[in-house]
Chain A
Amino acid sequence: MEYLLSILVLCSLYVMLSSSFNLIIGYGGLVSVAHPIFFAIGAYVAALSAIHFGLPAVPAVLLGGAVAIVASAAISLPSLRVSGDYLLITSIGFQLGLLQIIKNLEITGGPGGLSNVPGTITGALRSPAFAAISVLLAAATVLLIRWLMRGPYGRAITAMRDDELAFTALGRNATHIKIVIFALGSGMAGIAGGIYAFFYQYISPEQFEILQSALILTMVVVGGISTTWGPVVGAVLLLALPQAITFIHMPPNVAGGLQGVLYTLLVLIFMFARPQGIVSAPRTQL
């Protein structure tokens, strides 16, 4: 039961991550892959504020989200100057650079990470409580994005993505939209990071590496980019399927590799057999 609840928490957090990433890359068309770094910022800020300042969990998680929003400027501001491939490479540089800083600072625990994050909720209800909070937040994230994209602001986002030149020629402010999309998406990732830190009570830089970027990107692509439910399906599928491997008794290094092989293979199969993803958007063409 404990194991299943732990998977439920993880799935919910990844639903938050993939949905918020879909807002940036799918709906906004802003090609950045640095999403895990905002997850990391949320996790580290929440954990450090709880460890060093004794901040309770809720304000600590909110602070993590707020810092992630502020940090999103590091990607949203370059996105005003460069786009496409250049923005993508910038985001990789930002992510790896910040991870390098985290790895080398004493306060963040260096490469070993932080293992003394306070438990917050204790006892038998710990996992069910975290599962409930995570599921609620994941649902709120998905519904918030759905509501946003169905409204006038969502139509403006789509218009900007489809033709930025025409959009600005009509007097609309693309700069504002880009900053808002990055801030919203990163803030959600930051909050997910905070909950992750308090639930697992251990965070390390390697949990937020470039492979995480690929995992979240994969969830969005396999599920269906620019759709509300696609990232949800992608996150659940890509987290649940490899868990089956854990029931087969294998050496850890083989099991880890096999999980990776499974999910990358799944992506490759989807890219060629069903490029629009499991849930396809009306006009998606990959």
Chain B
Amino acid sequence: MLDPIILLQIAWTGIAISSYYVLFTIAFSLALKVMQLWNFAQAGLMALAFYAMFFALNRLALPLPLGIAFGVAVTVIAAVALEVFGLRTLRARRSGNLTFFIFTLIVAEFVAYLLMMIFGTEPQTLFPSILSQVHIVMNIAVSNWDLIAVGTTLACVTALWAFLRFHQDGQFMLAVAENASLAELYGISAKRAYLVTMTIVAIISCAGMYLFGSRSGVFPTTPLELLLVAVIATLLGGMGRVFAAGVAAVALGLIQSFSVLFISSQWQTLVLYAFLFVTIIFFPLGFRLPLWLRKAFKPAA
């Protein structure tokens, strides 16, 4: 019989770890929803975000808020350039999905190689020490990093939800996501919606890389591996369902954490790929509860 404290500890650690998965996933899912783009270039933006913050904090010795601001600024500029000079051109040419895929993947690789040249292939962390103060809450170890991670993620998700729900640009993004041509007929600029989307993707990627980079070592190719979790969660949540994808990312984090009870840690990543394979083959439209269950939980009108 497993100790409930151990189970709770694993659950909490899983939730904390899933925080950056959630951020990468909602950024990836948002680009897919609004721009109909499997944006693998997000891995390049993530790498750029991390190394810009790393450079600002460790080489320029800037204070933390300035270092983060520097990272955000660099990533947003890169994201806007990617949209204006790359994606917009391909869209104007009516390029096929394969071209977009190759372009975004090659951009991600280009950034990785460039960073490899500049910063080398050794893993880097944002801070000299990745140790974080630990508090014991109801016999569960909760670190400062855990609290920052969960808090940052909740703040980002809430801000994105509020932006999409209440801000005009957010509503325009949803309109473009539904039908870009129709939205343009109503005077909504799809170009602006795409730019705003890329800016949000850059900011969220930066937040995610701050959390990841303050806890683990980062290689220039690490973001591409991290992004695959976002792809799996996006598919599990269902295309176009940004926040459901975020929930799926939490579920993946928990599954990965709980899998240590059944399989050795070296096989944990395989669980994710198995999920990816099964999801696409059996749930290509995402995982949904059965209709009778959804009806049962639906509030009375």
- Min CB–CB distance A165 → chain B (angstroms): 18
B93, B113, B231, B284: which has the most chain A beta carbons within 10 Å?
B113
Is A254's CB under 8 angstroms from B117's CB?
Answer: yes
Is B112's CB under 8 angstroms from A271's CB?
Answer: no
- List residues of chain A with CB within 8 A of the CB of B127: none
- List residues of chain A with CB within 8 A of the CB of B109: 211, 214, 260, 264
Is A261's CB under 8 angstroms from B117's CB?
Answer: yes
1/0 per residue A239-274: CB within 8 Å of B? Answer: 000000000000001101111110011011001100
- Min CB–CB distance B282 → chain A (angstroms): 9
| Interface window among A47-55, A84-92, A150-158, A175-183 | A84-92
A94 contacts B by Cβ under 8 Å:
yes
Is A268's CB under 8 angstroms from B96's CB?
Answer: no
A265 to B276 alpha-carbon distance, docked (Å): 31
- List residues of chain B with CB within 8 A of the CB of A89: 38, 231, 235, 276, 280
A101 contacts B by Cβ under 8 Å:
yes
- List residues of chain B with CB within 8 A of the CB of A256: 116, 121
- List residues of chain A with CB within 8 A of the CB of B120: 253
A112 contacts B by Cβ under 8 Å:
no
A123 to B84 alpha-carbon distance, docked (Å): 57
A120 contacts B by Cβ under 8 Å:
no
B97 contacts A by Cβ under 8 Å:
yes
Given A210-B224, A214-B105, A78 and B266 contact (CB-CB distance below 8 Å): no
Is B277's CB under 8 angstroms from A264's CB?
Answer: no
Is A96's CB under 8 angstroms from B273's CB?
Answer: yes
Is B106's CB under 8 angstroms from A286's CB?
Answer: no
Closest B residue to A262 by beta carbon equals B113
- List residues of chain B with CB within 8 A of the CB of A286: 93, 95-96, 98-99
Q: How many residues of A contact B (CB 8 A)?
A: 42
Q: Which of A55-94 contact B (CB under 8 A)?
A: 78, 81-82, 84-86, 88-90, 92-94
A92 to B277 alpha-carbon distance, docked (Å): 9
Given A82-B281, A260-B112, A92 and B95 contact (CB-CB distance below 8 Å): no
- Min CB–CB distance B205 → chain A (angstroms): 19
A218 contacts B by Cβ under 8 Å:
yes
- List residues of chain B with CB within 8 A of the CB of A214: 102, 105-106, 109
- Min CB–CB distance B34 → chain A (angstroms): 16
Is A271's CB under 8 angstroms from B280's CB?
Answer: no
Is B273's CB under 8 angstroms from A85's CB?
Answer: no
B267 contacts A by Cβ under 8 Å:
yes
A275 contacts B by Cβ under 8 Å:
yes
- List residues of chain B with CB within 8 A of the CB of A168: none
28 intermolecular pairs with C-beta atoms under 8 Å apart? A25-B98, A82-B284, A85-B38, A86-B284, A90-B276, A92-B231, A93-B277, A97-B273, A97-B277, A100-B270, A104-B266, A210-B224, A253-B117, A253-B120, A256-B116, A256-B121, A257-B113, A257-B117, A260-B112, A260-B113, A261-B113, A264-B107, A264-B109, A267-B102, A271-B106, A275-B93, A275-B99, A285-B96
Q: Which 9 A-B pairs have the closest CB atoms?
A: A260-B113, A97-B273, A257-B117, A93-B276, A257-B116, A264-B110, A261-B113, A100-B270, A90-B280
